[in-house]
Amino acid sequence: MLKQYLSQKLQQKLSPQQIQMMKLLQVPTLELEQRIKEEIEENPALEEGEDVEDEELSITEQTDNEESTESSNEEFDLSDYFQDDDTPDYRLSANNHSADDEDRETPLSGGTTFQDAMRTQLSLRQVDERTEELAEHLIGNLDEDGYLRRDLLQIENDLAFTANIMTDQVELARVLKHVQSLDPPGVGGRDLRECLLIQLERMHNAVDVLTAKAIVDKHFDAFTKKHYERIMDRLEIDEEALKDAIEVIVKLNPKPGNTGRDSSRPAQVIVPDFVVNAVDGQLELSLNGRNAPELRVSRQYRDMIKEYQRNKKDKDAKDALVFIKQKLDSAKWFIDAIKQRQNTLLITMEAILEHQRDFFLTGDDTKMKPMILKDIAEKVGMDISTVSRVANSKYVQTDHGTYLLKFFFSESLTTDSGEEVSTREVKKILEEAIIAEDKQSPLTDDELTKLLRGKGYNIARRTVAKYREQLHMPVARLRKEL
52 — pLDDT class (breaks 50, 70, 90): low
Top-confidence residue, 243 or 28: 243
Residues 210 and 245: beta-carbon distance below 8 Å: no
Averaged pLDDT for residues 94-112: 56
Does the structure show a pLDDT above 60 at 92? no
- For the stretch 148-168, pLDDT in tens is 999 999 999 999 999 899 999
- For the stretch 365-424, pLDDT in tens is 888 889 999 999 999 999 898 888 888 888 999 998 999 998 898 888 878 777 888 888
- The answer for residues whose C-beta is within 8 angstroms of residue 200's C-beta and 6 or more apart is 209, 212, 213, 216, 248, 252
Averaged pLDDT for residues 93-120: 65
pLDDT at 58: 37
Please state, in angstroms and rounded to a whole number, the distance separating the CA atoms of residues 371 and 411. 6
Q: Note the CATH number of domain 412-479.
A: 1.10.10.60
What's this model's pTM, rounded to 2 decimal places? 0.62
Please state, in angstroms and rounded to a whole number, the distance separating the CA atoms of residues 359 and 312. 63
Question: How many angstroms from the chain centroid is the CA of residue 473?
Answer: 23
What b/e readout covers 58-78, taking b as 16+ CB neighbours within 10 angstroms? eeeeeeeeeeeeeeeeeeeee
Please state, in angstroms and rounded to a whole number, the distance separating the CA atoms of residues 291 and 343. 11
pLDDT at 196: 96
Does the structure show a pLDDT above 70 at 266? no
Classify residue 363 as exposed, middle or buried by CB count within 10 Å of its CB (0-12, 13-18, 19+).
middle
Does the structure show a pLDDT above 90 at 281? no
The residue extents of the domains of the chain are: 114-262, 412-479
Percent pLDDT > 90 in the chain is 40
78 — pLDDT class (breaks 50, 70, 90): very low
Length, in residues, of the chain: 482
241 — pLDDT class (breaks 50, 70, 90): very high
